[in-house]
Amino acid sequence: MARNEALFEAVLKGKRKDVAALVQTAIDEGTNLESILMDSMVPAMAEIGDRFSRNEAYVPEMLIAARAMQAGLDLLDPLLQAAGHKAIGKVAIGTVKGDLHDIGKNLVAMMLKGAGFEVLDLGVDCDVEKYRDAVEKGAQAILLSALLTTTMPYMKTVVEGLKGSSAKILIGGAPVTQAYADEIGADGYSDDANTAVKATKVALGIAA
């Protein structure tokens, strides 16, 4: 189905009220739910993400767009769930123990959802147990976020705690680096929400 240009633009420009109104209209008109999401909204977030990678957009713009996207998702999510939307993979994401920052984590979760993943959001202050539970619930990849230099070392504890499980572990957050990911033996790292999706696909061997 064709892209709803008005909706695409509204997400891109971060116009939250417009997004909600346009999504509601599309739902009322009986537009295919997946098409609303996949043909207009997700491409808008992907566009922002690409601009971000090219240094043509920055975190503020990305968060403003994400906020608008969320307004649309809030309307669509329950309907999609009821309709049994099929996912390309199941992943879990959570901020590590001791840390409460979740804005970046939520952005990554949203991009993953947009890319077609089923995402278990574990929230903040997650201990090893929480991540292990998620693996037991079928998560193929576990994503860890940390924004504090004091909580980042807990990522190592999680990697060690999940040794032997089949799930891949990806890490991210402002103080985290590729070097640190290598050091603790994580399966993937990225420094922004857009490449986080790519890194997750690579780790799980899903074609981009």
Q: Please report, as residue ranges, which positions from 52 to 81 form the binding site for another protein (by CB under 8 A).
A: 54-55, 58-61, 63-64, 67
Report the residue from 12, 16, 42, 102 that binds ligand B12 according to the rule CB under 6 A.
Answer: 102
- The Cα 129–Cα 208 span in angstroms is 31
| Residue 144 binds which of another protein, ligand B12, none (CB < 5-8 A, kind-dependent) | ligand B12
Q: Is 120 in the site for ligand B12 (CB under 6 A)?
A: no
Instruction: Write down the residue that tokens 């070097």 correspond to.
Output: 179
| Residue of 64, 72, 98 lying closest to 173 (CA atoms) | 98
Q: How far is the CB of 120 from another protein (least distance, A)?
A: 20
Does the protein bind ligand B12 through residue 101 (CB under 6 A)? yes
Q: How far is the CB of 176 from another protein (least distance, A)?
A: 8
Q: Using the 8-state DSSP alphabet, how is residue 175 labeled?
A: T
Q: Is 104 in the site for another protein (CB under 8 A)?
A: no
- For tokens 């903040």, the residue is 124
Hey, which residues does 118 pair with through a beta bridge?
90
Residue 14 contact partner, candidates ligand B12, another protein, none, CB within 5 to 8 A by sort of partner: another protein
Q: What is the CA radius of gyration of the chain?
A: 17
State the Cα–Cα distance between residues 156 and 61, nearest whole angstrom.
32
Query: Could you say which of ligand B12, another protein, none residue 94 binds, taking C-beta under 5 to 8 angstroms by partner kind?
Result: none
- If contact means CB under 5 to 8 A according to the sort of partner, which of ligand B12, another protein, none does residue 105 touch? ligand B12
Distances (CA, A) of 84 to 63, 69, 78: 28, 21, 10
Of residues 148 through 167, those in contact with ligand B12 by CB under 6 A are 148-149
